């Protein structure tokens, strides 16, 4: 093995060559207690990975994520206050009257009201939106955008809400007018169709409005990912990258699409900041979502939730209109001016539903983690990317925090799962070490892994 004085310049030279020729970055330096050796312990290895995060960075990440707990509450209260303002001041009724004077066709009245409502609600909530979306992200060093670039993205999103939301609202109000006794059933059906269409068209038509998508350029990484896909029965012919760095420093990847528009995408932050092991671990995770049918399962879950939401909405709206409808000058459930009430009810239910929704998603993410570990066999890469995600997610939450606020497993949970997998597969990292079920010819990885954790790696 080369001396440290030689190996460090050699590593720098190899890194330069790798970047020049599009090869993946060098492997991460594994903490001493997390390296494969005879006395490997998964919990000690997890602690070793977490200890690599400087205390100041850990405190910043914790403060950012814990501040998000309060923002959930303040967002709900701000939304509730805005909707109550529209109702109590009868401004919603005035907007309806203006729409009815402007156009005679009822569908267009609904669309005009939607434009009014969206504009007024956006104005009322603008301070919270600007603080959360721009100033807070800049404060914690997570944003790369100027205010002008951020505002441009917001305006694109606003235009989409006006157009697509307006069409959906027109359809829903038409159903309520024509099917007064069963509108909650048919309305749920319309909402389900809208969600399914959004899931199918979003990756192809909507996401490119905010970012540039192109086939992955790094040939080495691309071939490794496609090989991993073929090995797991995934009919992938391409992998996409997106220029997320124009907005944020966050690393990310996702599997999206539905009924033929499925695609696996990784962002350029992951490509530029993570090792090839971490990229493969992430891709194994995303392939897990595909193989385990998480997109379909998530849609089914959302469909069930929508049906329950519309049923609760019907009951709460009937009660509220019977008690306060005359004060708000809202005629009945078919009145376009009822939208703030519907939004208030749905926001209240959604606020209470947060732990349930997070638990469903978190469970799927953990399943994808386990699949990814078995598929990519990169536990150290998994730990590396978990620490990168820890720049904006609390790494070591309490069980209660994780249950209520986390839609992904906490960093400690994910790293421990990776180190637990590594403990059962030590022979993959050193042929002299045992594996629980060791088939022939599986010692395939880490030619320079030291036999004892006191010996540092330089790879």
Longest dimension (CA), the chain: 84
The DSSP code for 141 is T
Higher pLDDT residue, 114 or 226? 114
Q: Work out whether the CA dihedral 140, 143, 144, 149 comes out positive or negative.
A: negative
274 touches 387 (CB < 8 A): no
Question: Where in the sequence is the domain holding 88, given as residue range(s)?
Answer: 76-194+295-360
Whole-structure pTM value: 0.85
User: Residue 258: inside a domain, yes or no?
Assistant: no
pLDDT score of 438 = 59
Q: Which two tokens stand for residue 39?
A: 């006395």
Angle of CA points 211, 216, 221, to nearest 5° = 135
* pLDDT for 65: 96
pLDDT at 205: 84
Does residue 189 form part of some domain?
yes
Q: What pLDDT score does 295 carry? A: 86
Confirm whether 205 is domain-assigned: no
Confidence class for position 3, pLDDT limits 50, 70, 90? very low
Q: Where do the H-state alpha helices sit in 274-410?
A: 276-291, 294-328, 339-376, 379-389, 399-405
Flag whether pLDDT at 290 surpasses 80. Answer: yes
Report the phi/psi class of residue 257: left, alpha or beta, with left for phi > 0 and alpha for psi in -120 to 50: left
Q: 136 lies in a domain?
A: yes
Instruction: Report yes or no on 37 lying in a domain.
Output: no
Angle made by CA atoms 324, 325, 327, in degrees to the nearest 5? 65
pLDDT attached to residue 264: 81
Give the residues across from 213 on adjacent strands.
Answer: 242
**How many domains would you assign to the chain?**
1
Asked if the model's pLDDT at residue 276 lies above 80, the reply is yes
- CA-based nearest residue to 348, from 306, 304, 309: 309
409 — alpha (psi -120 to 50), left (phi > 0) or beta? Answer: beta
CA 414 to CA 397: how far, in whole Å?
A: 12
Tell me: pLDDT of 15 over 80: no
Tokens for 363, please give them.
Answer: 């469970």
Question: Each residue of 329-375: pLDDT tens digit?
Answer: 999 999 999 999 999 999 999 999 999 999 999 999 999 999 999 99
Q: Which of the residue ranges 25-39, 67-81, 342-356, 436-450 would you say has the lowest mean pLDDT? A: 436-450
pLDDT band at 452 (very low <50, low <70, confident <90, very high): very low
Helix residue ranges, H only, 232-292: 268-273, 276-291
Question: Residue 337's CB: how many other CB atoms inside 10 A?
Answer: 24
Q: Indicate the burial class of 197 (C-beta count within 10 angstroms; 0-12, 13-18, 19 or more).
A: middle
- Pick from 241, 289, 286: nearest CA to 267: 241
Supply the pLDDT for residue 372: 96
pLDDT at residue 17 is higher than 50:
no
Q: Given a cut of 70, is residue 315 above it in pLDDT?
A: yes
User: Can you give the pLDDT at residue 27?
Assistant: 67
Contacts of 404 (CB under 8 A, 6+ apart): 354, 355, 358
Domain presence at residue 391: no
On the 0-12 / 13-18 / 19+ scale of CB atoms within 10 A, 164 is middle
Summarize the confidence of residues 427-455 as an average pLDDT. Answer: 57
Q: How confident is the model at residue 258 (pLDDT cuts 50, 70, 90)?
A: low
What was the pLDDT predicted at 12?
33
Query: Mean pLDDT, to the nearest integer, of 241-265?
Result: 83
Q: Are 406 and 398 in contact (CB under 8 A)?
A: no
241: which strand partners?
214, 266
Residue 96 near residue 336, CB atoms below 8 Å: yes
Q: Is 154 part of a structural domain of the chain?
A: yes
- Which tops the pLDDT comparison, 53 or 17? 53
Tokens of 314: 């019907």
Least confident of 4-8, 238-242, 300-304: 4-8
Domain membership of residue 51 (yes or no) is no
Q: What is the mean pLDDT of residues 365-387?
A: 96
Q: Residue 453 pLDDT more than 70?
A: no
> At CA 24, angle to CA 444 and CA 208, rounded to 5?
125
Looking up tokens 């606003």 gives 158
Q: What is the pLDDT of residue 254?
A: 80
Query: For all residues of the chain together, what is the average pLDDT?
Result: 87
Q: Read off the pLDDT band of 18 (50, 70, 90).
A: very low
- DSSP letter for 434, please: -
Put the strands of the sheet holding 263-267 in their side by side order.
213-215, 240-242, 263-267, 253-256
The pLDDT tens digits of the residues spanning 212-243 come to: 999 988 889 889 988 998 898 887 778 889 99
CA 263, 268, 269, 272 torsion: positive or negative? positive
Q: What is the pLDDT of residues 394-433, one digit of tens each?
A: 999 999 999 999 999 999 999 999 999 999 999 998 888 8
pLDDT of residue 4 exceeding 50, the answer is no
């Amino acid at each position: 093995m080369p001396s440290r004085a030689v190996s460090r310049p050699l590593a720098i030279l190899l890194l330069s060559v790798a970047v020049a020729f599009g090869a993946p970055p060098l492997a991460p330096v594994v903490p001493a207690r997390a390296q494969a050796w005879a006395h490997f312990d998964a919990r000690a290895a997890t602690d070793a990975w977490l200890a690599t995060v400087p205390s100041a960075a850990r405190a910043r990440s914790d403060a950012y994520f814990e501040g998000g707990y309060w923002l959930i509450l303040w967002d709900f209260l701000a939304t509730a206050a805005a909707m109550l303002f529209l109702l109590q001041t009868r401004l919603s009724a005035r907007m309806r009257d203006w729409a009815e004077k402007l156009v005679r066709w009822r569908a267009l009245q609904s669309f005009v009201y939607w434009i009014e409502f969206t504009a007024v609600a956006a104005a009322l909530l603008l301070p919270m939106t600007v603080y959360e979306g721009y100033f807070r992200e800049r404060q914690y060093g997570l944003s790369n955008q100027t205010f002008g670039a951020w505002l441009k993205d917001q305006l694109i999103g606003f235009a989409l809400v006006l157009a697509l939301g307006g069409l959906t609202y027109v359809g829903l109000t038409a159903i309520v007018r024509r099917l007064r006794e069963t509108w909650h059933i048919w309305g749920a059906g319309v909402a389900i169709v809208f969600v399914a269409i959004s899931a199918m068209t979003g990756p192809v038509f909507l996401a490119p409005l905010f970012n540039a998508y192109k086939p992955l350029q790094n040939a080495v990484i691309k071939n490794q990912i496609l090989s991993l896909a073929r090995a797991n029965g995934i009919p992938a012919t391409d992998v996409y990258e997106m220029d997320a760095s124009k907005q944020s420093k966050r690393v990310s990847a996702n599997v999206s699409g539905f009924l033929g528009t499925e695609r696996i995408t990784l962002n350029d932050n992951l490509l530029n900041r993570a090792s090839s092991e971490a990229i493969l671990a992430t891709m194994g995770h995303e392939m897990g979502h595909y193989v385990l049918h998480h997109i379909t399962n998530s849609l089914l879950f959302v469909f069930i939730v929508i049906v329950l939401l519309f049923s609760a909405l019907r009951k709460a709206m009937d009660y509220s209109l019977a008690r306060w409808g005359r004060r708000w000058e809202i005629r009945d459930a078919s009145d376009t001016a009822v939208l703030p009430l519907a939004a208030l009810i749905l926001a209240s239910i959604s606020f209470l539903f947060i732990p349930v929704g997070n638990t469903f998603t978190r469970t799927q993410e953990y399943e994808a983690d386990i699949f990814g570990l078995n598929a990519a066999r990169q536990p150290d890469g998994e730990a590396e990317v978990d620490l990168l995600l820890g720049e904006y997610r609390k790494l070591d939450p309490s069980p209660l925090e994780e249950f209520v606020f986390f839609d992904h497993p906490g960093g400690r949970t994910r790293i421990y799962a990776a180190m637990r997998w590594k403990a059962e597969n030590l022979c993959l990292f050193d042929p002299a070490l045992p594996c629980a079920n060791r088939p022939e010819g599986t010692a395939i990885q880490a030619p320079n892994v030291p036999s004892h954790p006191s010996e540092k790696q330089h790879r």
